[in-house]
Amino acid sequence: MRRTLADCSWPAARLGDAVEALALRSGFGGATSRLAGRTDDVPEAWFDDVDGPLDAWIASAAVRTGAEAEAVQCAASELSHAVRRLAPAVAAFREADGALRIVAIVRSRGGDVELLLPDQGTARVRSRDLAEGLRRAVAEPLEREAAKLVEIAGVPEAKRARVLRGLADRMAAKKPVRGMWLLRPGPGAPLAAQSREDRLGRLGVLLVGAHAAQYALWIASWALLGRAAFAGRIEPGWIAAWGLVLLAMLPFRVLDTLAGGRLAQRAGAMLRRRMLQGALRLDPEEIRHEGVGSLLGQAMETDVIEQTAVSGAQLSVTSSVELVFAIAVLALGAGGIGHAALLVLWIAVAAFIAWRALVARREWTDTRLKLTNDLVERMVGHRTRVAQLQPERRHDGEDPAVDAYFAASKRLDAHAVRLEALLPRAWLILGLAGAAPAFVGRAGSDGGDVGGLAVALGGVFLAYQAFRGLGLGLDRAIGARVAWERVRDLWRAATRPSLPGVPGFAARATPLATVLATSGLRPVVLEAHGVTLTHRSRATPVLRGLDLEIREGDRILLEGGSGAGKSSLAMLLSGCKRPDAGLLLLRGLDIGTLGEEAWRRRAVIAPQFHENHVILGPLSFNLLLGRRWPAEEKDLREADAVCRGLGLGPVLDRMPGGLQQLVGETGWQMSHGEQSRVFLARTLLQGADVVFLDETFAALDPETFARCVDYVKSRAPALVVIAHR
């Protein structure tokens, strides 16, 4: 039963509850904690502010329930079509009296949309009613303007309503309608939720069903042809029936191909999203002892999974379906249950061969990854090796490593041959041998049941075709399985909880600073109370019982010997590490309240040179990496000003593309000092409350050093510089 839009809406003050309830209803994961209070503290003006904090507020609320929220907008003329695809989502609209309301869209069904009610029930409303409610905020001001035009034009009263409506529609057609947020499962959400969002289950069922139907029709076509042949004459009706059955296979073949391709595409995209999220969730301490080659090897294994997992699973499943049909056909043939049992026994042999291939694949993968790691590390350190290593020793250890790889490859190839060639061919011999007694017995009894023999032989060849696909599918599935073992830590890391912060606090974290500033006191930006930090590789804490206070305007120089914990302190205060004990506060809020993202926007660190990188891309992208991208014109102007303030003006003038010049290892080559100033500019452009510079000035000459220090002091509200003693 349809209801009105107003009856199915939530009060604006319960926006957070609507987001949470919709995320849980959609199965995106359990709430990590209840949203802080109601949302009465969200100013209504936020809903009308395009660049306001409401989008960040809703994104933070969604993350706390295991979901992601993306603000969407569309032209008013496309709204009726857009709402049919806008699910699950929350949207804000205004009633005729101007009251602000929220709707939680569960799904779209035909011309209706299903909405989640505040009592957790659901109701259906017309999609056009929802579109009209969302359009009202844009249309009403234009309708008032159109009314003035109609009145000035002297349109007759009888036509005024229609003309007014048409004119308002034309004026609003290209106006963007905002106030809609699409919810989707986060990369770390349960696999079931992500699969449901991408419809992987439906595609899998469709794939198996289409293949089974296609295979059944194929068997039926040969059964018809065989019956006609054994009847002694082939009549046109049998031929026509045979042709119709073959023709009926075509749509299932097309459906099988389309479902398989779409399943592979969506599963691959989901895998890459998940792996990227896992990489971002890893603690730097976990990978600091791994080389570039090892990390590259993990990335390559992810590619192996994408290329082989879906296709291997698809071939294995469809071949298994074919084997089930083959067992049934053999049981109906001349060999009976015994012949079918022989096929089951050979399937067990195939499983044993696959297990041996799995062991060989693991050995080969370990050898290949070690070879890849050694090669990449040698390439990275090539200049050092050429300068300091004797020529006769530059290739030490390479030949034994290559020999080990060749030996592992030969063993792997041998198992692949057994799976893809020996397994089906040996079954063909074994299956025919299993049918031989029945053939000899029937031959000695005046031909006997020729149809039963034909069915038995057909079952043998059906199983042969199935084993051909199964061998290739198992080989790919084994490759995916071994690759998964190498990257499963990345997959699991995606589920690690984040600290999104309490919605709204990040946008309201400055009132205390304002009060202190008006009283003449310098506000405290960052403070630590009894903080303790221990590295995973050490038994004793690197920091113990730390008490610290950084105020606006502070300029702090932190000196010490190598390994004294200076960088660890900076990483801790900037939110890149978590303390084992104690309390850290930024503007009076801890990281659980403020959130990781907001903390790192307000406390920014420029890491040491070996942990900072110029990424292949435009210089402007490297400068604005921590700000936003794509950049707006004002961002580019500020980036240019900061670069020139740090003495990079001559470098920019030499670059043919200026800020758009391609830089990086294969782009414009910059010196060590120039790269250091790019890192410094990147840090300053984030507009943080406190800036940490970890040996950033180490590569600068005295004149450039003095200029950069003066410029940084003029821009950073609070500054901490780390240097070796």
Which one is predicted more confidently, 492 or 655?
655
Structural contact between residues 53 and 506, judged by C-beta atoms closer than 8 angstroms: yes
- For residue 11, the model assigns a pLDDT of 83
How far apart, in Å, are the Cα atoms of 645 and each of 227, 257, 323, 529, 555? 90, 59, 73, 36, 19
Taking phi first (over 0 means left), then psi (-120 to 50 degrees means alpha), and beta for anything else, what does residue 113 get? Answer: beta
- For residue 135, the model assigns a pLDDT of 74
- For residue 363, the model assigns a pLDDT of 93
Mean pLDDT of 654-666: 85
- The letter for the amino acid at 591 is I
Mean pLDDT of 128-132: 78
Which one is predicted more confidently, 367 or 7?
367
**CA end-to-end span of the chain:** 76
Highest mean pLDDT among 213-227, 321-335, 635-649: 635-649
Sheet of strand 543-551, all strands in order from the earlier edge strand to the far edge: 543-551, 524-533, 581-586
- For residue 34, the model assigns a pLDDT of 46
Task: Show the tokens assigned to 716.
Answer: 């950073």
- For residue 35, the model assigns a pLDDT of 45
Taking phi first (over 0 means left), then psi (-120 to 50 degrees means alpha), and beta for anything else, what does residue 533 get? Answer: beta
- For residue 173, the model assigns a pLDDT of 62
Q: Which helix (H) or strand (E) holds 589?
A: none
Q: What is the pLDDT of residues 366-408, one digit of tens each?
A: 898 888 888 888 877 777 888 888 887 878 778 888 889 999 9
Among positive and negative, which fits the CA dihedral 166, 96, 58, 528?
Answer: positive
Number of neighbouring beta carbons within 10 Å of residue 275: 23
How far apart, in Å, are the Cα atoms of 494 and each of 59, 66, 668? 18, 11, 35
Closest among 90, 47, 60 to 72, alpha carbons compared: 90
Q: What is the pLDDT of residues 542-596, one digit of tens each?
A: 888 889 999 998 999 988 887 778 888 898 899 888 888 989 999 888 888 887 8
Q: CA-to-CA distance for 725 and 723, rounded, in angstroms? A: 6
Give the whole-number percent of the chain exceeding pLDDT 90: 17
Number of neighbouring beta carbons within 10 Å of residue 232: 6
DSSP string computed for 77-123: GGHHHHTTS--SEEEEEE-TT--EEEEEEEEEETTEEEEE-TTS-EE
- For residue 709, the model assigns a pLDDT of 93
Q: Cis peptide leading into 630, omega within 30 of 0?
A: yes
- For residue 516, the model assigns a pLDDT of 46
Which one is predicted more confidently, 255 or 82?
255
Q: What is the pLDDT of residues 590-637, one digit of tens each?
A: 888 887 888 888 899 999 888 888 888 899 999 998 887 888 889 999
Q: CA-to-CA distance for 583 and 581, rounded, in angstroms? A: 7
Q: CA-to-CA distance for 538 and 544, rounded, in angstroms? A: 13
Least confidently predicted of 23-27, 155-159, 392-396: 155-159
How far apart, in Å, are the Cα atoms of 259 and each of 256, 265, 311? 5, 10, 12
Least confidently predicted of 274-278, 405-409, 415-419: 274-278
Residues forming a β-bridge with 116: 104, 122
Is the pTM here over 0.75, yes or no? no
Mean pLDDT of 228-254: 80
HSE on the CB side for 675, CA within 13 Å? 22
Structural contact between residues 42 and 100, judged by C-beta atoms closer than 8 angstroms: no
Residue 698 has pLDDT above 50, yes or no: yes
- For residue 36, the model assigns a pLDDT of 40
DSSP string computed for 370-392: HHHHHHHHHHHTHHHHHHHS-GG
The pLDDT mean for the chain works out to 81
Number of neighbouring beta carbons within 10 Å of residue 461: 15
* Structural domains of the chain, ranges and CATH numbers in brackets: 6-186 (3.90.70), 282-493 (1.20.1560.10), 509-724 (3.40.50.300)
Residue 282 has pLDDT above 60, yes or no: yes
Give the whole-number percent of the chain exceeding pLDDT 70: 84
Q: What is the pLDDT of residues 136-146, one digit of tens each?
A: 766 666 556 66
Q: CA-to-CA distance for 422 and 114, rounded, in angstroms? A: 56
Q: What are phi and psi of 50, to 5 degrees?
A: -60, -45
Burial of 67 (0-12, 13-18, 19+ CB in 10 A): buried
Residue spans of beta strands (DSSP E) within 172-276: 176-185
Residue 31 has pLDDT above 50, yes or no: no
DSSP string computed for 420-467: IIIHHHHHHHHHHHHHHHHHHHHHTTTT--HHHHHHHHHHHHHHHHHH
Mean pLDDT of 685-710: 91
* pLDDT band at 160; cut points 50, 70, 90: low
Closest among 710, 693, 720, 696 to 556, alpha carbons compared: 720
Structural contact between residues 127 and 80, judged by C-beta atoms closer than 8 angstroms: yes
Task: Show the tokens assigned to 77.
Answer: 């003329």
Task: Show the tokens assigned to 481.
Answer: 């399985």
Q: CA-to-CA distance for 17 and 181, rounded, in angstroms? A: 14
Q: CA-to-CA distance for 360 and 448, rounded, in angstroms? A: 48
Residue 39 has pLDDT above 60, yes or no: no
